[in-house]
Amino acid sequence: MEQKFVTIDGRDIPIEGEKNLLEVIRKAGIDIPTFCYVSELSVYGACRMCTVEIEGRGLQTSCSTPPEPGLKVKTNTDAVRQIRRVALELILANHERECTTCGKSTSCKLQDLSRKMGVDKIRFRSIKKPMSVDDDNPSIVRNPNKCILCGDCVRMCEEVQGIGAIDFAYRGHDTMVQPAFGKGLDHVQCVYCGQCTRVCPTGALTPKSEINDVWKSLQTAGKTVVVQIAPAVRVALGEAFGYQAGELTTGQIVAALKMMGFRKVFDTCFSADLTILEEGNEFIHRLTEGLPLPMFTSCCPAWVKYVEQHYPEMIPNLSTCRSPQQMFGSVAKGVFAAEMGLKKEDMIVVSIMPCTAKKFEAKRPEFFTDGIADVDHVITTQELAQMINEFGIQFRNLKPESLDMPMGFKTGAGVIFGNTGGVMEAALRYVYEKVEGKTLENPDFHEVRGEAGIRECEVKLAGKTYTLAVIHSLANAKEIIRKIKSGEKKYHFIEFMSCPAGCINGAGQPVNFDPSYRKNRTKGLYEADKMLQLHKSQDNPYLKELYATKLGEVGGEKAHHLLHTHYNARRRMKGKSMVILDGQQTDKLEIRVCVGTSCYLKGSQDLLHHLARHVAAQGLQDQVQVKATFCFEKCDKGPTIKVGGKTITHCDVAKATAAVDKAVEDLKKV
């Protein structure tokens, strides 16, 4: 077949399946600048930084121009340079330029391109007024003063995660990106996955830092501070110090943490092994006892929050297992604190995670025991790199040190948790031996590995066939749940991860613009598995001892108390109710109707209108106030209304009318 070419700055570059001219130019070794172009998202073409000059067509954005044979492209003409510089100056004019104190200072695209373009002055004045910073949630800081309107966060949240917690608002020079109704991220349906922070090219969206809290804990007399390192951290932290993505730096991380003053340095892979024993046992129990299937993994807190908010009727399908992070905290304070001669309130547990949602998870009330958090602080991989730099540690010169026992020992099954498909594979390594009753010689299950966002496979266990799925990204999760609910698909066990490619691509990992970084991090974890002598969680000798001396049998009463939890329906939108009908009297019967998504789809809007008309028709406006509210957290039982102090679920017009009439009559008797 004849090869087709595009001429780039006088050189013929072959077209080999690239979706736009930008990709062909970059293949030619020319790094065209962009803000709004992210390969995994739709083409937006807003920033104009990728403008090139095409013979016969003039100035064009290369991200939105398909590669056509015979095109003659120039990437560095006077006109091209001028339009890029003007675009940068206009962005900078309205941008908060406190670069030295910005969390994205070393990885900010705006700062980097301004330097590369030689922008040394700004000819335009700002027309924006300073806006307040949204930092009331535990995971993400949103600073609208640093937003450049590239739309990357909007498209990530909508296209990849299928949530749409943030979007463009207003028009013209008033345009901004914000959550619905101008609320904070903690008052909308954000699940704190943080993928918006990963693609944001500036400091407009960043993970919320807990560094100062950790320093304070390390310097507090009478407190023993221990730390756990998540699987994905070991193949990414090195990138902040010049290592290639995927290089293992576990030993250097341990050395750095001990220099900082952490008493014990443990491994979340230990509790990942623990999770597999409990989760695998739960799966077998569900199969044999006829409990809700498919079973969903519950390791990812963003995914769990997504189910609580969007599909509360499927909460019974979630594994009751705590995540490895929370299992670690529970065991550390509930078991090992006493063995170290400590009261649990005198042990501080710090987690190093690739994930911003883990910050939210640690603060859930379900994970407090007697008012004490199981995990006290969560810092991301990025924050750990900053702490190492703050302390003045020369990371590349560190001699590797060993993790502390017993919670520093792990098998390869715990290590691969950081990859999409890793939890499923680790579970299969356990379930196979339990169901088949024989040793699994080859622990690898390649059928659950890969990059596709939706992967399906079948496995045979004891003569029966089971259908499994591995899902990453919440938009894919939404599609799979739709098919499950419609009966189109039937599964027995599903692994869900919110972040594309799993935890190795969590929002707290170092920013990396190399397109191969995901594959390299993934490869690093699978290689780490191979370098270990044990590959199945059930072979971890320290876990065997833990069950024998402290927890009893897998899935038993003591283990269930420490290692399992429960989840509840969670409102998607927080805020004040909207008054639909109101009179003059101050002491009124209050009727509240939920108009959240779940109830709305079940007819609550019609119910609201009927009640407003009924109250007006009966002349009760001065005695009754009708409000629309967002949620009673009974999404699986909607439509839901509240008449006075009485909550009515599965409500219809007849029930609502009768309840209002009775409540009014009761008021007359008082």
Output the six-digit token pair for 341: 């001669």
Output the six-digit token pair for 592: 């509240």
Q: Which of 68, 366, 458, 557 is catalytic?
A: 366
Omega prior to 639 cis, within 30 of 0: yes
Q: 6 CB contacts (<8 Å, ≥6 apart)? A: 12, 13, 15, 21, 24, 67, 68, 69, 70, 71, 73
Strands (E), 120-165: 140-142
Let me know if 457 is a catalytic residue: no
- Cα angle, residue 143 at apex, residues 137 and 144 outer, rounded to 5°: 125
Q: Which of 96, 278, 279, 383 is catalytic?
A: 279
DSSP state of 313: G
CA distance linking residue 424 with residue 280, whole number of Å:
10
Q: Which of 109, 358, 588, 637 is catalytic?
A: 358
CA distance linking residue 139 with residue 361, whole number of Å:
9
Q: 282 CB contacts (<8 Å, ≥6 apart)? A: 295, 319, 320, 321, 555
Q: In what order do the strands lie in the sheet with 646-648?
A: 578-581, 624-629, 589-594, 641-643, 646-648
Output the six-digit token pair for 191: 């699940």
| Cβ 186 vs Cβ 356: under 8 Å | no
Q: At CB < 8 A and 24+ separation, what contacts does 218-224 make? A: 218/260, 218/261, 218/262, 219/261, 220/348, 222/346, 223/346, 223/347, 223/348, 224/263, 224/264, 224/340, 224/342, 224/346, 224/347, 224/348
| Cβ 325 vs Cβ 232: under 8 Å | no
- What's 163-196 look like in SS3? CCCEEEECCHHHCEEEEHHHCCHHHCCCCCCCHH
Let me know if 279 is a catalytic residue: yes
User: Distance from CA of residue 413 to its chain's centroid?
Assistant: 22
Residue type, 116: K
Q: Is 367 helix (H, G, I), strand (E, B) or coil?
A: helix
Let me know if 121 is a catalytic residue: no
Q: Which of 114, 271, 319, 604 is catalytic?
A: 319
Which residues, in sequence order, are bridge partners of residue 136? Answer: none
Q: Which of 150, 457, 503, 631 is catalytic?
A: 503
Kind plus residue range of the DSSP H or E element containing 605: helix 604-617
Q: Which of 36, 108, 200, 299 is catalytic?
A: 299
Let me know if 633 is a catalytic residue: no
Please provide the DSSP assignment of 31-88 as one string.
----SS--TTS-----S-TTEEEETTTEEEEGGGS---TT-EEESS-HHHHHHHHHHH
CA distance linking residue 395 with residue 250, whole number of Å:
12
Let me know if 366 is a catalytic residue: yes
Q: Is 560 helix (H, G, I), strand (E, B) or coil?
A: helix
Helix and strand numbers, DSSP H then E, in the chain: 22, 24
CA distance linking residue 245 with residue 320, whole number of Å:
34
Which residues, in sequence order, are bridge partners of residue 1? Answer: none
Q: Is 281 helix (H, G, I), strand (E, B) or coil?
A: helix
CA distance linking residue 25 with residue 13, whole number of Å:
8
Q: Which of 96, 210, 239, 361 is catalytic?
A: 361
Return the closest-CA partner of residue 137 out of 192, 60, 57, 199.
192
Residues forming the active site: 279, 282, 299, 319, 358, 361, 366, 503
